[in-house]
């Protein structure tokens, strides 16, 4: 038992370490997970799956895959599909099934797999892996439309691709049971009826319990996990692995229900999923043997070639006919389709069952999937940015600033930030509060920034920083708490500050960082606006250094932030040890500069520009 616990600890540590290094080095996490698994398994034989885990290997992987697919189902909101562009809908409705069909043909004719194995593998490889594509998109800085195509296809096809594979797998299992046609149809309909109907009924029961307060907030996420695992195991008693269909449908039904706390529960499940996918991927990679890897010959190469250069391009170009997207966008979408952890996890589960049934070629499924995953990560991961630049699809826009709360002060701030060449948007759920920004042609968003609609339309993770500056301090803190995981907790700021007692009493993750060192609130800043304070942007140069800049400021001037030439924001309230360098532009809020006779100087003297007069 000691050895097993140690091996599990090693797998968990290796998975999370790979995730951290991937974040630190800006690499796809799955690439380092793959490397970690290969080193632990066939590389140095630290992990031997059959020796170390024996009979518990399949149940552990099975339960982990169930939670992964359940969490994937929770991301599939039908309203989001309706709101996406025509091209995205066509990629899902036409491109997905077409890729399933062509992938199955490629598996049989190019990969030399039996029809049964090829059909299941074709369904699995429809998945394009949001856990892989999201980091790629953040690094590639694509324009909005091609990024939206790749992003939404990955999110929606993640559960749908697994669903294709589950349905094909269930039909194949029933076909191999040796029943007569009548019994076969009865068993298929019974299994699907229980899986889909039971999932829907259980999900609606959960909604009823949650909305009527029968489950406390702190138990909602654990209850969901426990019910999903019970539903998975119960359905498997009827038909092997039919529980995967149950948990996927259950997640989809919940995603389309009106549960106020679903976002918090989804975040909790995402945390669990990161742990599980990391561990499962390392475990599955470690299960590969050197013999299996070296046995991959021309058939595996032909299969990978067909998936990348035949199946994907045909599916994309056929699905996007008449959608209005450019040939450059079609070409980029046809090339970029990295497979991820879900594909490997589902393949590992299905291949074990199919090998037990003696299906020809089932032992090759994991190796073929790893070959596709490795090829797509390396080829797509390192070619996305250069290809986007070559096709003119790379965005030249600098990282933007999201401002929550419309007022005279935020309007002047947004106007100055825009004048500095940085994208900005002011959001508010009060139409009248946005009037000053609209009058000055500043981009606005009308609605609650914490709503699911805003999450989809604003693409929150793409903003460089957020300033919560509404007239409600509690709302500002709530906005920063909610958006922290999306934008980064060190890049969400709010007006006002906390006293010493509040800093001791409140958890450090509640709210955002103070925007100003002085802790000024909404009323104080807007009052100074009425007194004639203005925003000033001042370039720091070799001749006019930071010390010269400080000496030139009127008393009371607030240094808010500075922007580097790359567009990166540095906030004065948090970057206490660093100072602006030559080439940076410093943004301040303070009294107007005056001459020796007390007269206000005009803006545009060659060193600075004012806003908010």
Residue 276: name the closest of 242, 333, 228, 313 by CA: 228
pLDDT band at 134 (very low <50, low <70, confident <90, very high): low
Average pLDDT over residues 61-72: 80
Is 159 found in the same domain as 135?
Answer: yes
Question: Would you state the pLDDT for residue 398?
Answer: 64
Is 302 found in the same domain as 415?
Answer: no
In contact, 388 and 409? CB cutoff 8 Å: no
Q: What's the predicted TM-score (pTM) here?
A: 0.66
> Please, where are the H alpha helices in 310-364?
312-319, 327-335, 341-356
User: CA-to-CA distance for 92 and 73, rounded, in angstroms?
Assistant: 15
- What does DSSP assign to residue 2? H
User: CA-to-CA distance for 533 and 529, rounded, in angstroms?
Assistant: 5
CA distances to 135, 401, 513 from 465, rounded to whole Å, are: 18, 5, 11
pLDDT at 1 over 50: no
Is 210 found in the same domain as 137?
Answer: yes
pLDDT band at 605 (very low <50, low <70, confident <90, very high): very low
Residues 6+ apart with CB under 8 A from 387: 332, 335, 336
Domain with 260 in it: what CATH number?
Answer: 1.20.1530.20
Is 311 found in the same domain as 417?
Answer: no
Largest CA distance in the chain: 102
Residue 228: name the closest of 212, 205, 211 by CA: 205
pLDDT band at 613 (very low <50, low <70, confident <90, very high): very low
In this structure, is the dihedral angle defined by the CA atoms of residues 275, 276, 278 and 279, taken in order, positive or negative? positive
pLDDT at 21 over 80: yes
Among 44-58, 310-324, 515-529, whose mean pLDDT is lowest? 44-58
pLDDT band at 503 (very low <50, low <70, confident <90, very high): very low
Is residue 158 domain-resident?
Answer: yes
Is residue 395 domain-resident?
Answer: no
Average pLDDT over residues 166-191: 67
Is 452 found in the same domain as 341?
Answer: no
Is 504 found in the same domain as 450?
Answer: yes
More confident residue, 17 or 151: 17
Residue 511: name the closest of 549, 468, 553, 545 by CA: 468
435: domain range?
401-611
CA distances to 74, 292, 293, 350, 392 from 108, rounded to whole Å, are: 33, 19, 20, 17, 38
Is 198 found in the same domain as 92?
Answer: yes
> Residue 372 phi/psi, 5° resolution?
-65, -45
Is 430 found in the same domain as 370?
Answer: no
Q: What is the pLDDT of residues 566-594, one digit of tens each?
A: 777 888 888 777 788 888 999 999 988 75
Q: Are strands 585-590 and 513-514 parallel, antiparallel or unpaired?
A: unpaired
In contact, 170 and 421? CB cutoff 8 Å: no
In contact, 590 and 572? CB cutoff 8 Å: no
Gap between the terminal Cα atoms of the chain = 73
Is residue 576 domain-resident?
Answer: yes
Residues 6+ apart with CB under 8 A from 559: 572, 586, 587, 588
CA distances to 86, 327, 431 from 144, rounded to whole Å, are: 15, 16, 26
Domain with 446 in it: what CATH number?
Answer: 3.40.50.720
More confident residue, 24 or 476: 476
Among 110-119, 251-260, 305-314, 431-440, whose mean pLDDT is lowest? 251-260
Is residue 385 domain-resident?
Answer: yes
Is residue 524 within a helix (H) or strand (E), and if so which, with residue range? helix 522-530
Structure tokens at 240: 């092997």
Output helix, strand, coil percentages for the chain, rounded to the nearest 5.
65, 10, 30
What is the percent of the chain where pLDDT is above 90?
18
Residues 6+ apart with CB under 8 A from 566: 398
Is 407 found in the same domain as 386?
Answer: no
Q: Are strands 492-494 and 424-428 parallel, antiparallel or unpaired?
A: unpaired
Is 385 found in the same domain as 415?
Answer: no
Residue 206: name the closest of 81, 73, 78, 82 by CA: 73
CB atoms within 10 A of CB 144: 11
pLDDT at 288 over 70: yes
Packing angle, helices 365-390 and 341-356, rounded to 10: 160
Structure tokens at 66: 């169930």
Is residue 204 domain-resident?
Answer: yes
- What does DSSP assign to residue 432? G
Average pLDDT over residues 381-410: 85
Average pLDDT over residues 526-553: 89
Is 435 found in the same domain as 414?
Answer: yes
Question: Would you state the pLDDT for residue 19?
Answer: 83
pLDDT at 545 over 60: yes
Mean pLDDT for all residues in the chain: 81
Q: Which of 390, 409, 437 is the last residue of a domain?
A: 390
Question: Would you state the pLDDT for residue 202?
Answer: 92
Is residue 396 domain-resident?
Answer: no
Q: Which of 390, 409, 431 is the last residue of a domain?
A: 390
Q: Which of 390, 413, 429 is the last residue of a domain?
A: 390
What is the percent of the chain where pLDDT is above 70?
84
pLDDT band at 489 (very low <50, low <70, confident <90, very high): confident
What's the domain count of the chain?
Answer: 2
pLDDT at 80 over 80: no
Quote the distance between the C-alpha of residue 2 and its chain's center: 36
Q: Reduced to 3 states, what is the DSSP secondary structure of residue 600?
A: strand
Is 465 found in the same domain as 355?
Answer: no
Among 8-17, 52-61, 365-374, whose mean pLDDT is lowest? 52-61
Residue 128: name the closest of 107, 104, 149 by CA: 149
Average pLDDT over residues 254-267: 70
Packing angle, helices 327-335 and 312-319, rounded to 10: 150
pLDDT at 178 over 70: no
Q: What number of CA atoms fall less than 13 Å from residue 18's CA on the CB side?
A: 27
Among 300-304, 393-397, 432-436, whose mean pLDDT is lowest? 393-397
Question: Hey, which of 113-117, 159-163, 170-174, 609-613 has the most confident mean pLDDT?
Answer: 113-117
More confident residue, 386 or 242: 386
More confident residue, 277 or 95: 95
Is residue 567 domain-resident?
Answer: yes
Is residue 329 domain-resident?
Answer: yes
More confident residue, 22 or 319: 319
């Amino acid at each position: 038992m000691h050895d097993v616990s140690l091996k599990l600890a090693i797998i968990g540590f290796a998975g999370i370490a790979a995730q951290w290094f991937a974040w630190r080095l800006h690499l796809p996490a799955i690439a380092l997970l793959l490397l970690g698994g290969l080193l632990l398994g066939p590389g140095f034989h630290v992990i031997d799956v059959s020796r170390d885990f024996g009979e518990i290997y399949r149940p552990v992987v099975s339960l982990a895959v169930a939670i992964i697919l359940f969490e994937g189902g929770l991301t599939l909101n039908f309203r989001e599909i309706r709101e996406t562009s025509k091209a995205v809908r066509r990629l899902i409705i036409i491109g997905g099934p077409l890729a399933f069909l062509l992938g199955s043909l490629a598996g049989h004719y190019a990969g030399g797999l039996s029809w049964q194995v090829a059909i299941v593998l074709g369904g699995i490889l429809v998945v394009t892996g949001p856990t892989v594509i999201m980091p790629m998109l953040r690094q590639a800085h694509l324009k909005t439309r091609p990024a939206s195509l790749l992003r939404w296809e990955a999110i929606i096809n993640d559960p749908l691709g697994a669903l294709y594979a589950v349905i094909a797998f269930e039909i194949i299992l029933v076909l191999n049971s040796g029943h007569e046609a009548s019994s076969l149809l009865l068993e298929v309909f019974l299994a699907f009826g229980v899986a889909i109907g039971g999932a829907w009924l259980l999900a609606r029961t959960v909604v009823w319990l949650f909305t009527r307060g029968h489950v406390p907030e702190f138990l909602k996420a654990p209850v969901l996990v426990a019910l999903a695992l019970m539903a998975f195991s119960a359905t498997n008693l009827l038909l092997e692995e039919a529980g995967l269909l149950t948990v996927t449908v259950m997640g989809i039904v919940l995603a389309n229900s009106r549960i106020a706390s679903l976002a918090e529960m989804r975040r909790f499940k995402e945390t669990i999923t990161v742990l599980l996918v990391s561990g499962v991927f390392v475990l599955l990679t470690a299960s590969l043997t050197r013999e299996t890897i070296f046995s991959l010959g021309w058939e595996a190469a032909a299969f990978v070639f067909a998936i990348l250069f035949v199946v994907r391009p045909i599916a994309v170009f056929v699905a996007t006919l008449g959608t209005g997207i450019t040939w450059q966008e079609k070409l980029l979408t046809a090339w970029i389709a990295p497979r991820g952890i879900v594909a490997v996890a589902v393949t590992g589960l299905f291949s074990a069952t199919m090998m037990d049934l003696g299906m020809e070629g089932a032992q090759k499924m994991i190796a073929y999937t790893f070959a596709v995953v490795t090829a797509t990560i390396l080829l797509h991961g390192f070619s996305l940015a250069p290809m986007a630049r070559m096709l003119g699809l790379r965005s030249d826009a600098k990282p933007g600033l999201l401002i929550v709360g419309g007022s005279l002060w935020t309007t002047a701030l947004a106007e100055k930030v825009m004048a500095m060449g940085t994208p900005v948007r002011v959001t508010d759920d009060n139409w009248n509060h946005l009037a000053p920004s609209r009058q000055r042609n500043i981009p606005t968003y009308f609605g609650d920034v914490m709503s699911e609609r805003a999450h989809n339309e604003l693409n929150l993770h793409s903003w460089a920083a957020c300033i919560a500056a509404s007239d409600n301090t509690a709302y500002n803190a709530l906005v920063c708490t909610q958006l922290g995981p999306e934008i980064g907790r060190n890049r969400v700021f709010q007006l006002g500050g906390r006293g010493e007692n509040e800093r001791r009493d409140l958890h450090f993750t509640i709210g955002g960082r103070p925007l100003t060192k002085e802790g000024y609130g909404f009323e104080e800043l807007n009052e100074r606006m009425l007194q004639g304070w203005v925003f000033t942007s001042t370039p720091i140069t070799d001749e006019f250094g930071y010390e010269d800049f400080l000496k030139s400021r009127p008393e009371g001037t607030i240094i808010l932030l500075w922007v580097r030439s790359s567009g990166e924001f540095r906030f004065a309230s948090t970057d206490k040890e660093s100072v602006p360098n030559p080439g940076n532009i410093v943004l301040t809020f303070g009294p107007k500069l005056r001459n020796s006779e007390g007269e206000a100087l005009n803006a545009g003297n060659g060193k600075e520009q004012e806003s908010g007069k």
